[in-house]
Structure 1
């Protein structure tokens, strides 16, 4: 199980959840599936990954051969990129993704910010590494996986095709959603839980994805939600930091600058997990912005 978990899920520690799913599918655990999935969700630790491991364990019990086929060796292709080309490729890739995520205006906003950072850091020996960090983190704070993005990803024909490639015969699709009207407040925990809906919702996904240009506008039906407010707070804080480095880049030591530009990496997950992670990210930001370094006067 450990080898299977490592190869298919990337971490041998997930073998425990894999085994739990296997045992449940075999009838060894007298608990209903929604209750099992709810327990994994409430645990709050890598819930999505553990749900995936639980589902894979169930699949392993149901069709062992199908799961083992996933372990078939693949050919690893290593691409050699021209010196200096990888950063440009990263920026181009993220720019294209932002067009799909929302529109060309957001992609242009991203590219202009990155270009400004490149000008600010020009001449530093670590400039490329720092710009790469900004290109990665700024994309993350702009392209948050919100209700519009979930709808867009699930509405894509590639999603349904991936299921047909993975499963044989007829199958039913279910989604666990916590956004908009599907989020339910658990009176016991005070946290928002998910609602399971069937494949009938895919036309609604397509409709919502088609109006994703409303994101962030006064017509955005999700804009006042707690998570949307938090995401804007993270974005605005990071843009403020990108503006600030123009004044401090020449004086700050490399480690402090790296920390300031990297803090959004701490903001992960959804719901209450994201709120907790955001607190950690803002703490990293505050430390980078306020703690003096050697040979620097405290502000």
Structure 2
């Protein structure tokens, strides 16, 4: 026997290796032997990271650190996707390995390559339960809980360590772990608190979940136009009018509201009690009106929210560096597509100036408005506003689905620059098909009752 064996898994750059280091120090404080291997692969930040940990009575009792098939006493999963990997599951022994996993939906690299990527949460949890057994598999959204408790997600891994401890997963005392956190010296108060909250979550999961679910000023303040926490169409529209007013000006916000008012009235008349089509239009018209152009990027960097998020995620930093592909005088690759360049901290002054110039958007003095992408954006908006008029005149109880589909076409337009142009072309093709389908339902004769 080589003592206790564990695998800690997660995503590079989130502190997975630190958890292993804390366990190593805690073992040292209890005069036990400990060995660790960190396997970060080629992509240390953002890629899969695995730390194998062995703790035994003495260092001489440890002959091999890497945890082989079926030999793990604990799997501490700081990321659900990595936890469901084959190399982790093969180390699990059903009925013996304690498996704890953070259920937060953290997107892997595949998300950047596929716009329609979604996490197979249910399948991953099922695979973990099948490997460890229902009694040994334990799940909790540590990232959301840490964010609610501490204002950022940095305590999530220590929360999971406490969660594992309370489920009987560690051969160490709580005192030794907390002392090791203290000796590590990084955000000591928060990490000790996260460890203790993880223990409580294992003991009283519903209490902790209920505490996190309670609405509060910090949570409510984060509800933006894309969060769709509103229950009514009025709330959905009101939030977006407020956003568009800050984005451009009050008349711009009114333009949005007035376009929707026409459609909403038509839907209420044709299909009493229904707001399905209007809700789809509210989200998609906003998407085309609130494009993240140069002025908006500058506004978001300088309105205070970016600085606040930096303060939550980092205790300190030396400098900021921005990677941008300016549409005017920007670098181009061999294929003609834009290439990003690096800009130093001085760029924040440029952002403040550009944000103050947002009133030029859409005018003859808007230099960015002459680019092909901005002209395309204006055409898409005008076209969609015309489509909404067509949809308003086509509404009937039997045509709700046929009307919602073309109203939702802008949702297919994603990305920026040449990526956005490609997705817009696909969206336009789909728009044509869906409008033809709506027209066919209008032309379809009604069935006559048999005489």
| TM-score, normalization by structure 1 | 0.73
In structure 2, the partner of 1:88 is 234
The whole-number CA distance in structure 1 between the counterparts of 2:238 and 2:428 is 28
Q: What's the secondary structure of 2:296's corresponding residue?
A: helix
Paired residues of 2:331 and 2:338 also in contact (CA < 8 A): yes
Alpha carbons of structure 1 residues 2 and 256: separation in structure 2 relative to 1, 3 Å: farther
Please, what is the CA RMSD of the aligned residues? 3.3
1:180 aligns with 2:327: yes
The whole-number CA distance in structure 2 between the counterparts of 1:24 and 1:265 is 27
In structure 1, the partner of 2:44 is 22
Report the CA distance between 1:130 and its aligned residue: 1.2
In structure 2, the partner of 1:102 is 248
Of 418, 432, 451 in structure 2, the residue corresponding to residue 286 of structure 1 is 432
Q: Which has the larger radius of gyration?
A: 2
Report the CA distance between 1:23 and its aligned residue: 6.8
Q: What's the secondary structure of 2:288's corresponding residue?
A: helix
Give unmatched runs, 5+ long, in structure 2.
1-6, 15-39, 48-108, 118-151, 160-197, 199-208, 217-229, 446-451
In structure 2, the partner of 1:254 is 400
Give unmatched runs, 5+ long, in structure 1.
9-17, 26-40, 50-65
| TM-score, normalization by structure 2 | 0.50
Could you report, residue by residue, the CA deviation over 1:21-77 in whole angstroms, capped at 9, with x for unpaired residues?
A: 31799xxxxxxxxxxxxxxx9x97269x9xxxxxxxxxxxxxxxx975245577123
In structure 1, the partner of 2:358 is 212
In structure 2, the partner of 1:76 is 213
The whole-number CA distance in structure 2 between the counterparts of 1:77 and 1:138 is 32
Which segment drifts farther, 119-128 or 228-237? Answer: 119-128
In structure 2, the partner of 1:136 is 283
Q: Which has the higher strand share?
A: 2
The whole-number CA distance in structure 2 between the counterparts of 1:136 and 1:250 is 21
Q: Which has the higher helix share?
A: 1
Report the CA distance between 1:136 and its aligned residue: 0.6
Paired residues of 2:394 and 2:442 also in contact (CA < 8 A): no
The whole-number CA distance in structure 1 between the counterparts of 2:398 and 2:259 is 20
Paired residues of 2:256 and 2:285 also in contact (CA < 8 A): yes
The whole-number CA distance in structure 2 between the counterparts of 1:157 and 1:146 is 18
The whole-number CA distance in structure 1 between the counterparts of 2:155 and 2:42 is 21
Of 93, 113, 129 in structure 2, the residue corresponding to residue 45 of structure 1 is 113
Q: What's the secondary structure of 1:181's corresponding residue?
A: coil
Alpha carbons of structure 1 residues 23 and 238: separation in structure 2 relative to 1, 3 Å: closer
Which segment drifts farther, 222-231 or 170-179? Answer: 170-179
Paired residues of 1:120 and 1:245 also in contact (CA < 8 A): no
Report the CA distance between 1:125 and its aligned residue: 5.3
Q: What's the secondary structure of 1:122's corresponding residue?
A: helix
The whole-number CA distance in structure 2 between the counterparts of 1:173 and 1:137 is 34
Could you report, residue by residue, the CA deviation over 1:211-269 in whole angstroms, capped at 9, with x for unpaired residues?
A: 10110110111001111011111101100101212322239722221111010000110
